Chains A and B, each alone.
Chain A
Amino acid sequence: MSEIQIESSDDELPEEVAFDASKSAALKSVKDVLEAAKREKNSLKEKRKKRQQLFQEQKKRKRLPQELLEEFDKEPQKQTGPSDNKGIYKKVSKTKPSDNKGNNKTPNLLLYLYTLFSVGQYQMTNNSLTDKTKTGTTAKKISKSLPDSYRVTRIKDESAAKSLQQKAVDFIQSRLYGPGTIRTTNAELLSLRKKRGVNQGAAVGFLNKKLGASQKARIARSNKRFIRQQKLIPL
């Protein structure tokens, strides 16, 4: 049966297809493909552009403010005496080596900063000084135009031993009083003793006026302020 059907489809004359239609169809398909390729290229280009812009902005954010850079460019060898270096030490902080985003500006900047700070006794990490300055804890008064929010501390003044002692104290404090421990207040302890004791009485918070006096005073002040603001009491 199938042979007959095939035969019948084979016996028929082929369809008349105009040359133009097929030509246009073929051209169209080619054009489509070309356009798709172009669009793809364009979109990739856009993406790359956006990426590049983003990187530029990040780079900009990480760099020192423009004024500082200009200052550095102008005066590379300003301070050499130890007394002058007092104002320009930078705090040491932990940074990961991976933070070092390569930028052709930073090696020069680092070079300048190293020459500035070459006289003196301190430690410095070898990268991402720019990070630290952006956080606002460094570089005070290298020039008078520095904003006041920058602060400089001497490495020598914070000896390692003191911070170790503080860490040890914090360890004990967190093990005994930190999260994971079930602690209550002294007021509750005394109140429970009164409740279960021989001469039973009220909780110490009601009897002892001095307990929590500062909190009560603060609440009273804020109440007064609220009443004044809302004008609840007619003047």
Chain B
Amino acid sequence: MGEFKVHRVRFFDYMPSGIRALAFNRDIERIAVARMDGSVEVFHCSDRFFQEKIIPGREQCGIEGLSWVGERLFSAGLNGGITEYDLTNQKVKYTVDAYGGPIWTIAGNQQGTHLAVGCEDGTVKLFEVNEDKIQFERNLDRQKSRIISLSWHPSGSKIAAGMMDMIQIFNVETGHSVHRLLADRGVGTSRSKECVVWSVVYLSDGTIISGDSVGMVKLWDDQTGTLIKSHNVTKCDVLALSVSQNEDSLVAGTSEGTVVQFQFISMVLGKDDKEWVRTRTFKNHTHDIRAVAEITTAVVSGGMDAQLVVRPLLDKVEVRSAASALRKIHFPHRRLVSCARKSGLMLFQYPGHLELWRLGESEGKGMPGSSLFVKRNPEKLLHLKVKGEDHIRCSAVSPCGEWIVYSTASSLRLYRLHCDNNNVSITKISKLPMVLSSANQLCFSSDSSHLFSASTQSSVHLVSLSQSGCKFVGTLKPKSGERTIGFGVLHIIEDGKWLASANSDHEVHIYNLQTRKAHCTVPVYSSAVTAMGIHPTTNCLFMMYADQQMCEYSIEQKQYTDWSRMVQRKGLHRFWMERDTPCLNVMFNPQHPSHVILHDTYMLCIIDQSLPLPDDKTQFYNQLTLKSLPEEQRKSHSHAFKVCKTFKDILCVELMSDQSLVVVERPLEDVASQLPAPIKQKKFAT
């Protein structure tokens, strides 16, 4: 059944980068996350927080703030420019320089007409949001110290700006400062340091809430300009604040890694006098929390430990389901490792470079679970640095191991690899066709003769590769009459005759490679496709979705297969549906045609389509039980899902052509040991 030699790979030193800013868009239910390396990711909140879009960053790009205006996403950073993103094509649309020095914060008003940015030189600049661009309108009064945080009053008439040691309230029409609220500096040695007001929130009843570097959350009144109440939340800084839509709940993120919630309730049950009371504390992070977002049903927080934590607020959740569990997102929902199945090579994609490794060899046989003697260690063949400042968006290595291709936001490069026993050399293919300027996804054909690149128009370009170079062959477009507005293509998989591509609008198109025409389209499902695979013999497309559903579609008959209909009828087991990480790869085993191999971050699973499906009462993780039963009874008790949980923190699983499995793990302790320094916390009995 499933006896494999497993290469356990731990030399992929992937470091996720810390989260700097969060922005929630209520209308389209997306949350945008900005990271320290300049990349922006968009997660879909109602689709199990699947990472829909990734816009890669560049060197020397420090994003400090994100803001949604309608459906458009803007960011501002320390390089002094405001950037708008093209979310359909997953790239930067344009950058406008604000000419105020480094920008510390960006905020859009509720009406969606203006953007305010706070700059290093002490000015708050107002930009008008037009149809296609933003335009500078005017400056508010210039202040002496830098503007660290901004918040619009919901009516759009006033702005509260948090600066060093004080908060200023501006009247937007006149541009003058109306009130100046002074923040205390703190006691002891911190009296000599200025107090930085890291974030402010302006409520509609005129209360201003501020979090500062002394560790206080303070409530101010804007009519009189005085302090109403101050709460001492922590001994280090309060770095982020976020208030909910109906202004009855506020969350504050601190440097220690705790998220504190305040709620606007009355102290005595039944009475009407409400005030802000500190209610809950969440301790889900180990390092500084740089951004929080209150999305009514949950609290999303992210910080320097590079994980996005979604904590549902159980008093707002009606039904207790898989969607209401604590969710931690560590790794991207994309594949960063590609394998050359025939030649035993692996390509690791880092933001700024690529590494090519050859797998080691072992000898001897062993019992299941034991480790074999390693005859030859894995060796690093190639370290390829990216030219230019952009980060790599996608990369691929051909199955024979002779071609390497990678794409950034602005360029695409193709290399030919010559690998003798000891010498490795690469040559760059310089004359590339014009269509290959940048790609969202790249894929090689299984005989390494063609390269498929997904472009911005939901179509796939086909390029043939040979000794002399590469030549543009054709473009595969969806049937005319269907929408061909540019959607970023997310997945391409190919199987000799057929090519399937899924785009970010949840459409899956299947193309016939011999005629180079669109063949059919899979019915659209409400959830996004996370992994696809085409069976080599039965030509069925197997798809895994973000809500853990699975589907099998027969390409020749243009309809779902019987097995797939049976799965839909019976439903999947509760434990399968409760998994919180998406499946990233679907593979087939040539020796066992009815097997499908899947993996997600915490498990490896083989689905045997010839065995019965488990219903809710059967034991799902039954591998150990089956081992203890005698041979004859095993057949009656086994079901289709065989789950192996030996490997943790899996980034990629591939089946090589010599029937060995490669499992690339990235242990979270290794990631944690290379993060920035955390705050020292005194724990009892240490």
Contacts and interface: CB of A to CB of B under 8 A. Distances in A.
A84 B255 CA distance: 53
A196 B685 CA distance: 9
A24 B236 CA distance: 86
A183 B679 contact: yes
Interface in B222-246: 236-237
A211 B213 CA distance: 32
A168 to B, nearest CB: 4
Interface of A is mostly: helix
B213 A175 contact: yes
Contacts of A142: none
A181 B236 CA distance: 8
Interface stretch (B188-196, B327-335, B496-504, B610-618): B188-196
30 contacts: A161-B80, A161-B101, A164-B80, A164-B102, A165-B60, A165-B62, A168-B101, A168-B104, A169-B62, A175-B196, A175-B213, A177-B676, A177-B677, A180-B193, A183-B677, A183-B678, A183-B679, A184-B679, A186-B674, A186-B677, A186-B678, A189-B286, A189-B672, A189-B678, A190-B669, A190-B672, A192-B686, A196-B686, A210-B670, A211-B673
B451 to A, nearest CB: 37
Interface string B72-94: 00000011100000000000000
Nearest to A182: B680
Contacts, number: 72
Interface in A160-194: 161, 164-165, 168-169, 175-177, 180-190, 192
Lowest 8 CB-CB distances: which A-B pairs, in order?
A: A184-B680, A168-B102, A183-B677, A182-B680, A165-B78, A168-B78, A164-B101, A186-B673
A34 B670 CA distance: 89
A190 B673 contact: yes
B400 interface: no
B673 A184 contact: no
B100 to A, nearest CB: 10
A195 B677 contact: no
Interface of B: 60, 62, 78-80, 101-102, 104, 120, 189-190, 193, 196, 213, 236-237, 255, 286, 288, 669-670, 672-680, 683, 685-686
A176 B678 contact: no
A189 B256 CA distance: 12
Contacts of B189: 180
Contacts of A83: none
A180 B677 contact: no
Contact of A164 (B120, B213, B677, B685): B120
A66 interface: no
Contacts of B679: 181-184
B9 to A, nearest CB: 15
Contacts of B677: 177, 183-186
A184 B250 CA distance: 29
Contacts of A183: 677-680
B196 to A, nearest CB: 6
Contacts of B190: 180
Contacts of B669: 190, 204, 208
Contact of B683 (A164, A186, A192): A192
Contacts of B673: 186-187, 190, 204, 208, 211
Interface of A: 161, 164-165, 168-169, 175-177, 180-190, 192, 195-196, 204, 208, 210-211
Nearest to B198: A175
Nearest to A174: B193
A180 B70 CA distance: 41
B686 A184 contact: no
Contacts of A195: 686
A192 to B, nearest CB: 5
A190 B667 CA distance: 13
Contact of B79 (A165, A181, A204, A211): A165
A210 B193 CA distance: 38
A190 to B, nearest CB: 6
Nearest to A173: B676
A233 B95 CA distance: 66
Contacts of A165: 60, 62, 78-80, 102
A151 B420 CA distance: 47
Contacts of B101: 161, 164, 168
Contacts of A175: 196, 213, 237
Contacts of B102: 164-165, 168
Nearest to B286: A189
Nearest to A205: B673
A184 B62 contact: no
A31 to B, nearest CB: 64
A185 B196 CA distance: 25
A180 B679 CA distance: 12
Contact of B78 (A169, A176, A187): A169
Contacts of A185: 677
Nearest to A211: B673
Contacts of A168: 78, 101-102, 104, 120
A176 B677 CA distance: 10
A161 B78 CA distance: 10
A184 B678 contact: yes
Contacts of A189: 286, 672, 678
B377 to A, nearest CB: 16
B237 A186 contact: no
A186 B685 contact: no
A184 B78 CA distance: 27
Contacts of B62: 165, 169
Contacts of B236: 181-182
A232 B363 CA distance: 44
Given A161-B80, A181-B679, A186 B670 contact: no
Given A164-B80, A177-B677, A196-B683, 9 more contacts: A161-B79, A168-B78, A168-B104, A180-B193, A183-B677, A184-B678, A189-B286, A192-B683, A196-B686
B675 A186 contact: yes
A183 to B, nearest CB: 4
Nearest to A185: B677
Contacts of A184: 677-680
A184 B679 CA distance: 6
Contacts of B213: 175
B508 to A, nearest CB: 42
A211 B674 CA distance: 9
Nearest to B676: A177
A176 B288 contact: yes
A6 B601 CA distance: 123
A187 B675 CA distance: 10
Contacts of A208: 669-670, 673
Nearest to B193: A180
A161 B80 CA distance: 8
B477 to A, nearest CB: 43
A181 B213 CA distance: 11
